[in-house]
Amino acid sequence: MISAGDFRNGITVEIEGNVFQIVEFQHVKPGKGAAFVRTKLKNIKNGGVVEKTFRPTEKFPPARIDRKDMQYLYADGDMFNFMDTENYEQIALNADEVGDALKFVKENEMVKVCSHNGSVFAIEPPLFVELEVTETEPGFKGDTATGANKPAIVETGAQVNVPLFVEIGDKIKIDTRTGEYLSRV
């Protein structure tokens, strides 16, 4: 059991049947009355953030989050198939469980599958990916002084804003957390 007085950022706990990750916490000792802990909690199942206060002596069971490396195999309609590379077991997840996590991930790449008590709630793509630009408008000579961007479509079908000098066929590095262009490869 984890007491509210021991809260730290990143800890996951079960509160009222839901699993929350502590995003922010603050120990408050008012001049009058008892101390309390003010927190911002993120529900890991639906992504909602709530603010709650607790007495420092309140205790909560820790939530065990399993992160397993799996290979993204292919999409079959609304189902996305993943394989455990250790024992070759395959799982299929629907589009609601996957969300936008795979918009920068090609087939046969490794991702982290996050689960709690056997139920998958999130897919974590690699932090950085290298993808080829399949569609973009041509940049014109002398257009680079403004530092402007243009939209480009990468091989997974996702749209990214890139500098004007990037052309079709270029491989670019993308930060999957923000969807931003980082560099040419």
Domains annotated for the chain, with CATH where assigned, are 2-60 (2.30.30.30), 65-124 (2.40.50.140), 128-184 (2.40.50.140)
Angle at 101 between CA 7 and CA 65, to 5 degrees: 35
* Residue spans of the chain under pLDDT 70: 139-146
Residue 71 corresponds to which amino acid? Q
Strand partners, 151: 161
Q: What is the pLDDT of residue 110?
A: 92
Q: What is the pLDDT of residue 153?
A: 92
Q: What is the pLDDT of residue 140?
A: 67
Other Cβ atoms closer than 10 A to 54: 18
Q: Rounded to an integer, what is the distance from CA 23 to the centroid of its chain?
A: 14
Cβ-contact 112, 72 below 8 angstroms: no
Q: What is the pLDDT of residue 54?
A: 92
Strand partners, 113: 68, 123
39 closest CA partner among 9, 16, 66, 18: 9
109 closest CA partner among 87, 89, 131: 131
pTM of the entire structure?
0.71
Q: What is the pLDDT of residue 116?
A: 83
Q: What is the pLDDT of residue 47?
A: 76
